[in-house]
Chain A
């Protein structure tokens, strides 16, 4: 079943044509990755999907429903959560308050099981739950941002550069968690500059170049694709 469908979106920043007809689909239960260089439009694609930037043409559909009419703050109610680039944790709020904000869209008030779940995924957060998040390390902030997004019970989780600026040991931990979250049933769209890592956890992948999708294939084939190896995996 197609969960998320992005069809031929064109997004502009002022006069800059950032996305020139991007189309992609994510099936339920998949990990799909979007790789590409700096400025290729990866972040813009995610921002367009969750409504922070509106496309000039084209559409984004979730479970068949067009999202064009919805403002950014109602997208999460539809089932899309995003971990933005640079994590976007609320630095002056404590870890627990950040998690509360993650559950802002929830109608019920029974969060105990969810706290338990995210603390099992990220035990470090439990130790620091009453700490102000601005004092966490970069890796802990990334964990918090992911945990916060999970609090909303999304059907699809968008991750923007989760490995950015992290030590290699933390990158491994974050990618292990991504796989674990996916096994628990959350579909994932992953944007990464670290193409090697992204392709090793993903089922399928898209390659974005200057606002256009130039390649799409399953992750294994992309990994052995000559062009991808040269441009994104640093192999000759």
Chain B
């Protein structure tokens, strides 16, 4: 018994354990010394948590697009980060026009809603076009082909935006209604964070209801499981795939809009890092799983926000915030080692006769 147990342990396992123990030690020691230093009061932590959840909810919205497309086509839509970028970028022009015409000062909320809708619409158009032009002709091709096309489409959209609208950062208009703080349940929070959180959570709830309760949602789930059987039911598979891309696009456009009003800027490369993070979040939660993408996004945002201060500040590292990506991706590596399917991935073993 002991012998076989020893045999099963390889050198790699031992190294992994040692690395895990070292990291766990650093995290625990860092957290304790950060908390004991007394430099951070409850208010700081609250701010970090709210900020993390806000950032995380944007990741979650983007991650849903990756997960929806993966669920239905088993491919990673690497152009999704550009779908996310194109919405707010396109609606930047609408926002500037509304600002110069003075309409935005008179009707700030209505203008915001118009800009948001336009961002969602633009992202949706780009998402559906990418599927139609770049992926559909390759539906029966080996899986590597659409993956490469996706990377190509991503670069194509990035450089078209760069070429047409310039390489610089464009500033979203500043709105007074988004400034300041509000008091909710006795907690002082930035108004913009509250707006982003509420919109994102609302959209996620809407999506969940759509997928679980409506005829369209059931058809989407049916197509994701078995395209031939779905066609036999009378479901137009291509149409459902288009719709899935459209929904992913709308969510990405909304995420981009929320990002743009929060940080008040757009640029042609703004999709790259959030896209990568959202993809990480989708994998973290279990790719193809909708609640997983939501959970993964929020979790990643939270860890990124709290992590540097909690784990690293106490170790005397000079600029812990620069290391938030290190924390995020270390976490990804560890979750994938110990739970390769992600946090909520694939619990039901599919029976195939």
Contact = CB atoms under 8 A, between A and B. Distances in A.
Given A90-B226, A134-B348, A97 B218 contact: yes
A73 B352 contact: no
A7 B189 CA distance: 73
B222 A93 contact: yes
A88 B229 contact: yes
Nearest to B225: A90
A170 B113 CA distance: 59
Interface residues of B, number: 23
A130 to B, nearest CB: 13
B349 A134 contact: yes
Contacts of A138: 351, 353
Given A90-B226, A104-B215, A73 B348 contact: no
Interface of A: 50-52, 71-77, 81-82, 84, 86-93, 97, 100-102, 104-105, 132, 134-135, 138, 141, 148-149, 152, 164-165
A178 B278 CA distance: 50
A100 B232 contact: no
Give me the 6 closest cross-chain CB pairs, A-B, nearest first.
A105-B234, A88-B229, A76-B234, A72-B231, A86-B353, A73-B231
Given A86-B352, A92-B348, A164-B353, A102 B233 contact: yes
Contact of A100 (B218, B236, B350, B353): B218
Interface in B204-263: 215, 218-219, 221-222, 225-226, 228-237
A77 B219 CA distance: 16
A74 B234 contact: yes
Scoring B225, B232, B350, B351 by chain A CB atoms within 10 A of each residue's CB, the highest score goes to B232
B34 to A, nearest CB: 43
A196 B353 CA distance: 23
A87 B229 CA distance: 9
Contacts of A50: 232
18 contacts: A51-B231, A72-B228, A72-B232, A73-B237, A86-B353, A90-B226, A90-B229, A91-B351, A93-B218, A93-B221, A93-B225, A104-B215, A104-B234, A105-B234, A132-B348, A135-B348, A138-B351, A141-B353
B226 A88 contact: yes
A134 B225 CA distance: 11
A217 B235 CA distance: 36
A51 B237 CA distance: 14
A112 B239 CA distance: 28
A101 B226 contact: no
A173 to B, nearest CB: 17
Interface in B309-353: 348-353
Contacts of A90: 221-222, 225-226, 229-230
A84 B232 contact: yes
B231 to A, nearest CB: 4
Interface in B145-197: none
A81 B218 contact: no
Scoring A77, A84, A92, A149 by chain B CB atoms within 10 A of each residue's CB, the highest score goes to A92
Contacts of B228: 52, 72, 84, 88
Given A90-B225, A101-B218, A101-B219, 20 more contacts: A52-B232, A71-B231, A72-B231, A73-B231, A73-B235, A75-B232, A76-B234, A87-B353, A88-B228, A90-B221, A90-B226, A91-B351, A92-B350, A93-B225, A97-B218, A101-B230, A105-B233, A134-B350, A138-B353, A141-B351
B68 to A, nearest CB: 15
Contacts of B219: 101, 104
B237 A92 contact: no
A61 B342 CA distance: 49
A84 B231 CA distance: 11
Contacts of A135: 348
A165 B236 contact: no
A88 B232 contact: yes
Interface string B118-129: 000000000000
B232 A92 contact: no
Nearest to A161: B353
B215 A100 contact: yes
A89 to B, nearest CB: 8
